[in-house]
Structure 1
């Protein structure tokens, strides 16, 4: 007699078959997970592309290559710097936002990232959540420069001088929406000065106009202005940083001259596509921070006008948020629009 509670042989066989299938599937999943983890742990197994948003030869390009050489030694793979200039750094940003999230395409992001939404609005072809900040890299503080023949020696002098100029001051900047342009608007606003920004094609043209007396002042990186300063043709009035800069320590900050909110700089950092595996970030971020803490690397960066300021991803993300809110406010109040 069969036990009424005992499954029939056919049912028992079916149950055994199901358990076999489930065990096989579980083993397959485990094996697949192991292979994925192994693949991620092996990163990088081929060259990594570092996408620079500016052309060859400038501070962005040179600093990317300095850090790329260090990373290549740290990671045991070639770091290939690719220059993708255009559209106020948006070409490079879009390229990385759409790249595979495998750790082999890294963005060397720059300051315009924080102003793009306010300047271009719905014209952006990427979303901020497509990218993940992984390390702050460095700053390029902006120095307030005038003609050496000018009576202006301090920011207070500049305020007084602006009142003698019909229509106020003419500031030179290397393009609408650039960091020097926005910093000048912030200074004009907070110092209560009247003035306009005259947009030019790069710093060299701004210096030429400044030397010729056709503009009154400009905010610029010190490295490109230094030859004119050392020749006694241009004068440094101040630096728009929180503390005096090792790039030109004798320059007082604009803050200490009575305008505490006037802090502005170019800056660079590193981002990857948002879905990049955490194992990749866990290797890349510490390597970057070690590079930025290396005395030899710091000196190489100072030589091209940049201050190393390494910080991990979460801190970099907070910095970007603060920068975005700050410059969005300046852009809206100054009614800056870019087609």
Structure 2
């Protein structure tokens, strides 16, 4: 006995049905997103501006979407460890990157990467800006920016600045200050703000450029003196600090920034859902106040606007890295 005849039409019909089922299943999964825990990967350790802002947003996302959004700190290698992890993750919306400013400088500093920052990850939304303040110990012999520069010029080795790492916005702003002030300088990297502040208070480094979020208790207690802010205009977070532009350094404009990214093949409906929810969250007065209290400004960028911003940052700082001759070890 012979079996049923299998025709080309039968095969094509079966293939079409399989495709339709698969497409329907994928669409259903997207409609139900998120249906389980979502990991938010941070390129920094606990306690800094990135971690503080991400935990505020993670809690609110969890409330709104009915699933856990957990923070996974993956510091190291100038943010490349976190970037790589998410770039190579499943593109299903359950592993997201809380990208930071070094994302835009990694290739210029380190050359070829294990991921393609332009192709392997896609923007979801920009979230937060962290103004960068120039700080010294209140016990230092110098009290103003001019005095700090003069002090550096009086020493053969120049100035020492505590830095969160090569390619970070504070380190790049410091390099611009060294260049524009005509003073020798050395960025000394620390893995966390607390270690950098300990060295600053002990007088083993001369200054630091840092987000005020973790430094504010030291400022309020009189242990740190704020000499300026590296932004285009004075920051509402600490308006008594003059800009470096006001003090004769017009090119030193830098800030920490954070925003969400996903593996590039992540379905558009998931990107759209996250973009919409983040926009709503960041529009809440209570969330803005929570972030402001931590020394952070809300910057709500759509997917498209955040993509343009990252591209502009990459172009700007890659040129600075080349011009100043910064080399990563």
TM-score range (shorter-chain normalised) is: 0.7 to 0.9
| Aligned counterparts of 2:12 and 2:191: Cα–Cα separation in 1 | 67
Is contact 1:48–1:104 with CA below 8 Å preserved after alignment? yes
> Alpha-carbon deviations, 1:55-80, whole Å to 9, x = none?
33433223222111111222222212
Q: Unpaired runs of 5+ in structure 1?
A: 1-13
| Aligned counterparts of 1:24 and 1:209: Cα–Cα separation in 2 | 69
Matched, 1:125 2:120: no
Alignment of 1:168-207 (within 5 A): 168-207=158-197
Equivalenced residues, count: 324
- Per-residue deviation, 1:33: 3.0
| Aligned counterparts of 2:74 and 2:163: Cα–Cα separation in 1 | 22
In structure 1, the partner of 2:71 is 81
Give the direction of change, closer, same or farther, for the CA distance of 1:209–1:104 in structure 2 (3 Å limit). closer
- Structure whose alpha-carbon radius of gyration is higher: 1
Select between 154-163 and 139-148 the one with higher mean Cα deviation.
154-163
Q: What secondary structure, in the 3-state scheme, does the structure 1 residue paired with 2:300 have? A: strand
Matched, 1:322 2:298: no
Is contact 2:136–2:208 with CA below 8 Å preserved after alignment? yes
Give the direction of change, closer, same or farther, for the CA distance of 1:56–1:150 in structure 2 (3 Å limit). closer
Q: What secondary structure, in the 3-state scheme, does the structure 2 residue paired with 1:69 have? A: helix
Is contact 2:43–2:82 with CA below 8 Å preserved after alignment? yes
Q: What secondary structure, in the 3-state scheme, does the structure 2 residue paired with 1:125 have? A: coil
Q: CA RMSD in A?
A: 2.7
Matched, 1:45 2:35: yes
Q: 2:127 aligns with which of 137, 148, 151?
A: 137
> Alpha-carbon deviations, 1:155-214, whole Å to 9, x = none?
445445544444533333233333322210012223333333344454334334433444
- Per-residue deviation, 1:310: 1.5
- Per-residue deviation, 1:141: 1.3
> Alpha-carbon deviations, 1:117-170, whole Å to 9, x = none?
122112x21111100011111121110112335565554454455444445333
- Per-residue deviation, 1:25: 5.1
In structure 2, the partner of 1:92 is 82
How does the TM-score come out when normalised to structure 2? 0.87
- Per-residue deviation, 1:333: 3.0
Is contact 2:78–2:165 with CA below 8 Å preserved after alignment? no
How does the TM-score come out when normalised to structure 1? 0.85
- Per-residue deviation, 1:82: 2.0
| Aligned counterparts of 1:35 and 1:204: Cα–Cα separation in 2 | 48
- Per-residue deviation, 1:236: 0.8
Q: Unpaired runs of 5+ in structure 2?
A: none
| Aligned counterparts of 1:201 and 1:83: Cα–Cα separation in 2 | 13
